[in-house]
Structure 1
Amino acid sequence: MFHTKKQYTHPPGILVSDHYIQSYGYSCYRPQGTKDWLIIYTLSGKGSIYNGTNGYLSCEEGTLTIVSPGITQDYFTEQGFIWNKMWAHFMPRLTWMDWIPSSNTDGPLIQLTIQNDSSRKAIESAFSRVISYRLYGDSILRDELTLNALEEIILLVASHNPSKRELDSRVQEVLNIITRNYMDHILIEDLGKSVCLSPSRLSHLFKEQVGDSIMETLMKYRFQQAEQLLKHTMRPITEIALAVGFPSPDYFSRQFSSHYGVTPSNYRKKFREGML
């Protein structure tokens, strides 16, 4: 089953999540990956997921697999099995980036096997809440509840990852600068000076550790702020664009439409109509 229905992306948050029980014949193939992250937790059965030129990884009971943005998504139920899994497409909070482990396989994927029964139950419980909160009536609380439940999973993953990495302190400082000053005109050259790195070295290190470039991260954070203003205020689009750091309303509208698949005004309209 390959779902082609367009999803609206809104970092950070859960874009879509579900619990699938799929027999042999189920598959999904996205050669360019997605702009978001994908997390899969296998309850039982067996699936396979593409891990770059190193072939496929098995997804068996207790395995938790994370796919970062832009990585080919090619997975399916193994012959003779039923794949029982929980999954979510999400955009992480910037503060999660030092908790999400780097690849611990020979390819781009992150995969852990959760051995401890209590940890498995905790992850399963948190995942169940991620999925169930999408039906919660209050949209503001729904977003926060789902993010908190997913953050619980990310923390559990970090605590069980023997090779858990921490972000380079210079990358963390750049993330802190972005969250504090996203509305300002930010240059990579200035960020590099603030952490004593050349622009090229900082750009490479940041992309390596975070998964997105500095400008992509800044753009996503600005979208996050703009989205909240569109949802929960009646401030004009022009005012919102300038408030979150876009140089002009037209540029903001083009970038927002490209990222979300809908204009800012229509996004606000769909939210108020309960369509998001």
Structure 2
Amino acid sequence: MANNPDDPAMFSVQQQYTHPPGILVSDHYIQPYGYTCYRPQGTKDWLIIYTLSGKGSINNGGRGYLSCTAGTLTLLSPGSVQEYFTDEGHVWEKLWAHFIPRLTWMDWIPSSNTDGPIFHLHIDNESSRRVIESAFWRVISYRLNGDSILWDELTLNALEEVILLVASQNKVNKKLDSRVQEVLDIVSWYYMENILIEELANKVCLSPSRLSHLFREQVGDSIMETLKKHRLKQAEKLLMYTMRPIADIALAVGFNSPDYFSQQFSSYFGVNPSNYRKKFREGLY
């Protein structure tokens, strides 16, 4: 793994990674006033910062500065300006990591919720803070103390926990319409069945067009696109952890045609199902 956050490996979210997923560098900093970092071109990886105490400020892509205080989590995408510093009169204590995400994380990593490129979330709930902090500390502990590929995997798993916890917090903060949430629950539980928008609309007492508009507005994808992604993610688990034939997996997650399943899987994951399974078993994913 790289040991320099200024020498990352990912060119953009949309391109294939030239470096395997992993933690490039991570640490725990306690920095007084005078500490500053400035990378006008950003980096080619992702940067996640969790503030434990004190106060810092971070440039939101030229659209002002965001305050980082206890319980604030900040996420910068590749190529974003990285300018941050400890505020005058404060000591900024933070946990941070530069990382290359697993492809499957991209549906969980939240997009910007500010006027600029940065995702910035203040976590009010104390129990939520504790679990995020605990997972983040494991990221740093595994990376510093491990000396094998299994420790690298533990490090990634700990960061994946952080990403999932942040995604969960972001979902709570969005306060989805109860009817949209009900549709999401149906998709989650009955993804293998033939789901029709008309039936979903009738279930939540909306017209199909109104439900489709409301769902896309709040979720960001159409109902059918969300259903397809959920099916593909379930198929991914079956490919990784079972030896079931690919045609059986396709049918089990709701695809009527194995050929169509392979086409969609390849489009989403960048590799066909059989090669994905092979790479996973070789430890490449």
The answer to whether 1:182 aligns with 2:191 is yes
Instruction: Indicate if the aligned counterparts of 1:48 and 1:59 stay in contact, CA closer than 8 A.
Output: no
State the shift of 1:3 in Å.
3.1
Task: Note the alpha carbon deviations across 1:18-67, whole angstroms, 9 max, x for none.
Answer: 5457942364489xxxxxxx8832458654344xxx93553646532358
d(CA) in 2 for partners of 1:66 and 1:78? 13
Counterpart of 2:223, as a letter, is I
* Match 1:4 to one of 2, 10, 19: 10
Listed as ranges, the gaps of 5+ residues in structure 2 are 1-5, 28-35, 87-93
* Match 1:212 to one of 213, 216, 221: 221
The answer to whether 1:48 aligns with 2:59 is yes
Normalised by the length of structure 1, the TM-score is: 0.66
d(CA) in 2 for partners of 1:18 and 1:252? 34
Q: 1:129 to 1:152 in 2, by over 3 A?
A: farther
Q: What pairs with 1:194-273 in structure 2 (closer than 5 Å)?
A: 194-273=203-282
Query: Residue 96 of structure 2 aligns with which residue?
Result: 85
Point out the structure with max Rg over C-alpha.
Answer: 2
Is 126-135 or 186-195 further displaced after alignment?
126-135
Is 84-93 or 252-261 further displaced after alignment?
84-93
Of structures 1 and 2, the one with the larger relative CO (CA 8 A, separation 6+) is 1
Query: Residue 39 of structure 2 aligns with which residue?
Result: 25
Where 1:86 maps in the other structure, the secondary structure is: strand
Where 2:39 maps in the other structure, the secondary structure is: coil
Instruction: Indicate if the aligned counterparts of 2:95 and 2:136 stay in contact, CA closer than 8 A.
Output: no
Query: Residue 169 of structure 1 aligns with which residue?
Result: 178
Task: Note the alpha carbon deviations across 1:135-154, whole angstroms, 9 max, x for none.
Answer: 78499999876655544555
d(CA) in 2 for partners of 1:143 and 1:77? 23
Instruction: Indicate if the aligned counterparts of 2:60 and 2:118 stay in contact, CA closer than 8 A.
Output: no
Q: What pairs with 1:57-68 in structure 2 (closer than 5 Å)?
A: 57-58=65-66, 60=68, 62=70, 63-65=72-74
State the shift of 1:239 in Å.
1.1
**Alignment identity in percent?**
47
State the shift of 1:178 in Å.
0.6
Q: 1:218 to 1:45 in 2, by over 3 A?
A: same
Instruction: Indicate if the aligned counterparts of 1:29 and 1:75 stay in contact, CA closer than 8 A.
Output: yes
State the shift of 1:184 in Å.
1.7
d(CA) in 1 for partners of 2:256 and 2:212? 23
What is the count of residue pairs matched by the alignment? 247
d(CA) in 2 for partners of 1:154 and 1:75? 20
Is 243-252 or 58-67 further displaced after alignment?
58-67
- Give the CA RMSD over aligned residues: 4.7
d(CA) in 1 for partners of 2:212 and 2:141? 38
Where 2:244 maps in the other structure, the secondary structure is: coil
Task: Note the alpha carbon deviations across 1:76-113, whole angstroms, 9 max, x for none.
Answer: 222888x97336653567xxxxxx9994x456865234
State the shift of 1:207 in Å.
2.1
Listed as ranges, the gaps of 5+ residues in structure 1 are 9-14, 31-37, 94-99
